[in-house]
């Protein structure tokens, strides 16, 4: 009866505490979520998106770099740009093999602009649409990422990777590169917005929304038409570094993080509605008021957890060798069925390796039982350091150990057995100022799907005895009964 009174007392105390602190918790949680969004969540989302953008641009940069160093391209230019079909086929192959939207080459010698269908035009410093080439021609870096319109594809917006092509002496030959359609990047933006559950959009330096996954900030709209956002954007440009801001949109409070993307010369905006972000907290306020109705269940669950924890400790004690800390034979009986079922399903091999310390009785007689125990502990340590975490190793009894290895054939099982044997032979075990050298004999058996565990253990034992008879300090593979 005393236990139930204690549970009732705990229930009353928790119920009063929940009802008294629910509203305070709501206010504190709301403020904490606000700070977390502004200081952590939005900046982290922005960082993640920026990282993914950089990752998405690695492949086209690599393709452009490969093209710029291609000996065919350089030789073709140096030989006088003969046979335009050759360069067209080359650009076509690059575009199709690597999935680029467009691939191109502009020769500095002839000013010819080649793409996958041949010669498009000749670039000229007097043509506004060709200004990009002369800007990129004088850049110090080997490449640039540029957002521009592509006259060969219906004047569509493309993200270009412009890469300098140099001859074998380092002289400038022209520009080569690939382009990504902004439509494909638009899909990435929609993916980011769906993934992070926040409005994601990009603004250029003039305040034009260039890409957007937000229904409130459509592509092509201008932030000058949104007074609150326009003021925030002006502050972000002045600060330069990534920063978080707040502004009012209609009847809601918006939290926004803005950072500059130098690769695109755009500003990345990640925005979240504060009311939507705290919706769960409002629901939690009501849920907290009902929490007292389930206190008893929680208490029972906690008691269950405590009992289960003690039960787990008892099971661990029952399945662990107290001397070496290894699983014992009872643990083997528990896990071997799991190993065997997995082995049968995968139709793979299961290796059994038995190990026995040579002349252990003489060690016990010379060092005493405490010395013998110390040798067993050190042997267990050596075996654990010589095997993988996925391998099952247990103390089989006395001075004998058993190792079970999944998906292991005869060759690898013998390699592992030899590795353990060598490690034991070459390890000097310190005890009371003396250095003790021991050896071990090992028996190996490998089971296929359907083989009986008992038969494998018997085969491993027979191999172990054969190792003993052959002079000890060796590993022997058991004969296969077929």
pLDDT of residue 156: 55
SS3 content of the chain, % helix, strand, coil (to 5): 50, 25, 20
Q: Which three-class secondary structure state does DSSP give residue 289?
A: helix
197-211, 240-254, 324-338: which has the highest mean pLDDT?
324-338
C-beta of residue 222 within 8 angstroms of C-beta of residue 230: no
Which band of pLDDT confidence, cut at 50, 70 and 90, is reported for residue 87?
A: very high
Which band of pLDDT confidence, cut at 50, 70 and 90, is reported for residue 319?
A: confident
- Cα–Cα distance, 254 to 163 (Å, whole number): 40
Q: Which three-class secondary structure state does DSSP give residue 193?
A: helix
pLDDT of residue 311: 53
Q: Is the pLDDT of residue 437 over 70?
A: yes
| Residue with token string 């680029």 | 100
Q: What is the mean pLDDT of residues 163-175?
A: 93
Q: What is the mean pLDDT of residues 287-313?
A: 58
pLDDT of residue 383: 93
- Cα–Cα distance, 443 to 464 (Å, whole number): 4
pLDDT > 90 fraction of the chain, expressed in percent and rounded: 31
Q: What is the mean pLDDT of residues 310-322?
A: 67
Which band of pLDDT confidence, cut at 50, 70 and 90, is reported for residue 445?
A: very high
First to last CA, the chain: 66
Residue 471 dihedral angles phi and psi, to the nearest 5°: 120, 5
How far CA 163 is from CA of 68, 141, 192, 261, in Å, comes to 7, 9, 28, 19
- Cα–Cα distance, 290 to 206 (Å, whole number): 52
Tell me the per-residue pLDDT of 8-17, one tens digit each, with 9 for 90 and over.
666 666 667 6
pLDDT of residue 95: 87
pLDDT of residue 210: 79
Mean pLDDT over each residue of the chain, to the nearest integer: 82
Q: What is the mean pLDDT of residues 171-179?
A: 91
Relative orientation angle of helices 360-386 and 410-425, to the nearest 10 degrees: 120
- Cα–Cα distance, 224 to 245 (Å, whole number): 17
Q: Is the pLDDT of residue 307 over 60?
A: no
Tell me the per-residue pLDDT of 259-279, one tens digit each, with 9 for 90 and over.
888 877 788 888 888 877 676
pLDDT of residue 92: 93
CA 129 to chain centre: 43
Q: Is the pLDDT of residue 207 over 70?
A: yes
pLDDT of residue 71: 93
Q: Is 125 exposed, middle or buried (0-12, 13-18, 19+ CB in 10 A)?
A: exposed
- Residue 86 structure tokens: 């050759």
C-beta of residue 264 within 8 angstroms of C-beta of residue 251: no
Q: What is the mean pLDDT of residues 464-469?
A: 94
Q: Is 156 exposed, middle or buried (0-12, 13-18, 19+ CB in 10 A)?
A: middle
pLDDT of residue 371: 92
pLDDT of residue 23: 66
pLDDT > 70 fraction of the chain, expressed in percent and rounded: 82
pLDDT of residue 315: 60
Tell me the per-residue pLDDT of 104-147, one tens digit each, with 9 for 90 and over.
999 999 999 998 888 989 999 999 888 889 988 888 889 888 77
Which band of pLDDT confidence, cut at 50, 70 and 90, is reported for residue 304?
A: very low
- Cα–Cα distance, 327 to 403 (Å, whole number): 11
pLDDT of residue 155: 46
Task: Kindly report the pTM of this predicted structure.
Answer: 0.46
Lowest mean pLDDT among 2-11, 318-327, 356-365, 394-403: 2-11
Q: What is the mean pLDDT of residues 149-165?
A: 69
């Amino acid at each position: 009866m005393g236990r139930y009174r204690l549970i009732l007392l705990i229930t009353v105390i928790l119920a009063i505490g929940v009802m008294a602190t629910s509203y305070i918790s709501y206010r504190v949680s709301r403020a904490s979520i606000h700070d977390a969004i502004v200081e952590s969540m939005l900046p982290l989302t922005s960082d993640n998106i920026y990282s993914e953008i950089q990752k998405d641009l690695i492949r086209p940069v690599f393709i452009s770099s490969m093209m710029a160093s291609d000996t065919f391209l350089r030789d073709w230019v140096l030989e006088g740009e003969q046979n335009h079909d050759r360069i067209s086929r080359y650009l076509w192959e690059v575009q199709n093999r690597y999935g680029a939207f467009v691939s191109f080459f502009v020769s500095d010698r002839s000013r010819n602009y080649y793409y996958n269908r041949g010669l498009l035009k000749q670039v000229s410093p007097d043509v506004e649409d060709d200004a990009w080439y002369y800007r990129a021609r004088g850049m110090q870096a080997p490449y640039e990422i540029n957002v521009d319109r592509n006259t060969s594809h219906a004047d569509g917006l493309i993200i270009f990777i412009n890469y300098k092509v140099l001859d074998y002496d380092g002289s400038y030959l022209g520009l080569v590169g690939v382009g990504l359609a902004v439509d494909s990047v638009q899909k990435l933006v929609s993916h980011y917005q769906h993934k992070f559950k926040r409005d994601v959009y990009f603004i250029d330096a003039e305040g034009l929304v260039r890409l957007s996954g937000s229904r409130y900030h459509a592509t092509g709209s201008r932030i000058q038409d949104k007074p609150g956002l326009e003021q925030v954007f002006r502050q972000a440009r002045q600060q330069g570094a990534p920063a978080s801001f707040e502004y009012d949109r209609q009847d809601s409070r918006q939290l926004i993080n803005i950072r500059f993307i130098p690769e695109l010369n755009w500003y990345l905006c990640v925005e979240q509605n504060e009311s939507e972000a705290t919706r769960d907290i409002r629901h939690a306020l009501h849920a907290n008021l009902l929490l007292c109705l389930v206190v008893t269940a929680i208490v029972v669950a906690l008691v269950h957890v405590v009992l289960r924890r003690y039960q787990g400790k008892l099971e661990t004690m029952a399945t662990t060798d107290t001397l070496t800390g290894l699983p014992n034979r009872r643990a083997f009986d528990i896990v071997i069925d799991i190993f065997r079922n997995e082995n049968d399903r995968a139709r793979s091999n299961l290796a059994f390796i038995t190990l026995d310390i040579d002349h252990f009785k003489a060690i016990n007689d010379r060092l005493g039982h405490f010395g013998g125990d110390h040798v067993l502990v050190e042997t267990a340590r050596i075996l654990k350091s010589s095997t993988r975490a996925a391998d099952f190793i247990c103390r089989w009894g006395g001075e004998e150990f058993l190792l079970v290895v999944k998906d292991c054939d005869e060759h690898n099982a013998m390699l592992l057995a030899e590795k353990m044997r060598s490690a034991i032979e070459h390890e000097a075990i310190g005890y009371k100022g003396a250095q003790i050298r021991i050896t071990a004999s090992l028996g190996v058996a490998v089971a296929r799907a359907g083989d009986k565990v008992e038969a494998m253990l018997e085969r491993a034992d027979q191999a172990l005895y054969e190792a003993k008879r052959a002079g000890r300090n060796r590993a022997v593979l058991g004969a296969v009964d077929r």
